[in-house]
Structure 1
Amino acid sequence: MLNSLKARSFVSLCSAFVLSLLIWFGSLAIAPAADALTPVKLTDVTYETCPPEIAKGTVTTRNSQPAKCFIVSAMARNDSSKYLYDADVFGRIYDANGDTVFENRGRIGTVAEIPPGESQIQVRITVDPSQPEPLSLKQFKATGFAQQIRREQIIPSDAE
């Protein structure tokens, strides 16, 4: 009787273990891939002043002075064989005095799509007019997703 009880407990324990493994493997099949976030190396990072049509209407939060508008450009190397979507661009930007341009923030912006291989990317930034140039761009990188995760489309407004 005691051996029968031990055998049933062992079978019950094994069944629970197998069931938990099945649930775990099943959740892997329906959950988004954890490795979907793909790093992208950024090189040759530069910036230039925005053209007037892009810079139009930018203001700072401190006053109504126009903010400085810049386009940050970089060469992106996507080593995966897939397009990457909604890639967040990270980096440190310092002004001529060595002060940080974006306090407590490493994320600079988002790139909608990065193809496999090497490609040029651009991100628009605004800087407080009190921060002197030249800017120093450091530690730039990006991470993107193998699938689109944001459903909305950002369409530039032509309204005046």
Structure 2
Amino acid sequence: MVLLIICCAVLPGLIVPPPAWAVVQMRLLDVGYQDCPPELADGAVTSGVMMKANCFLIVGKVENKSGKTVVDADVFGRIYDANGNPVMQNRTRVGSIEVVPPGLSEFELRISVPAEQPTPLQLEQFKASGFTTKVR
């Protein structure tokens, strides 16, 4: 019994917890969109049947105040067509930024929008978050 009490008291101090990876929240500024250049506009990916789609680049600036490089930052936001209908049903993750250095930098993400959805697009609630190391 005494051995059990000693093990319960000593072992927790010997177990090393995994490193804590805090999520880095980043602000997105001057978010807008533009048509894709012709070399990016070809080859829209759809599931199953071929559907006409328009290619756009979401562009803007990302502010990383962490002082560390962030990798694979997820970008979230809401995109609506000219009629207020969602462009990406039930999705707020619109893409990722591979590397975000400390400070202010530019970003761009490619999206495909069904051709029947009218423009101009409305971009709302855009933000990004990521980690300073790859998460597996």
- Do they superpose with TM above 0.5? yes
- Corresponding residue of 1:4: none
Cα deviation for residue 15 of structure 1 reads 3.6
One of 46, 54, 57 as aligned partner of 2:32: 46
- 2:8 pairs with one of 12, 16, 22: 16
Give the TM-score normalised by the residue count of structure 2. Answer: 0.89
Structure 1 residues 39 and 61: alpha-carbon distance in aligned structure 2, compared to 1, 3 A threshold: same
Instruction: Quote the Cα distance in structure 1 between the aligned partners of 2:55 and 2:29.
Output: 21
> Which residue of structure 1 aligns with residue 78 of structure 2?
92
Judging by fraction of residues, say which structure has more strand: 2
| SS across alignment from 2:57 | strand
Percent identity between matched residues is 45
Question: CA 1:149/1:18 → structure 2, altered by over 3 Å: closer, same or farther?
Answer: same
User: Looking at both structures, which has the greater relative contact order when contacts are Cα pairs under 8 Å and sequence separation is at least 6?
Assistant: 2
Q: Which has the larger radius of gyration?
A: 1
After TM superposition, the runs of 4+ consecutive aligned structure 1 residues lying more than 4 A away are: 59-63
Residue 156 of structure 1 is matched in structure 2 by none
Unaligned stretches of 5+ in structure 1?
Answer: 1-7, 151-160
Which amino acid letter does the alignment assign opposite residue 128 of structure 2? A
The separation in 2 between residues aligned to 1:86 and 1:148, in whole angstroms, is: 7
Q: How far 1:60 sits from its partner (Å)?
A: 4.5
Superimposed CA distance per residue, residues 63-113 of structure 1 (whole angstroms, 9 cap, x where no aligned partner):
534311000012100001111111111100001111111001110011110
When the two chains are superposed, the root-mean-square deviation of aligned CA atoms in Å is 2.0
Greater helix proportion: 1
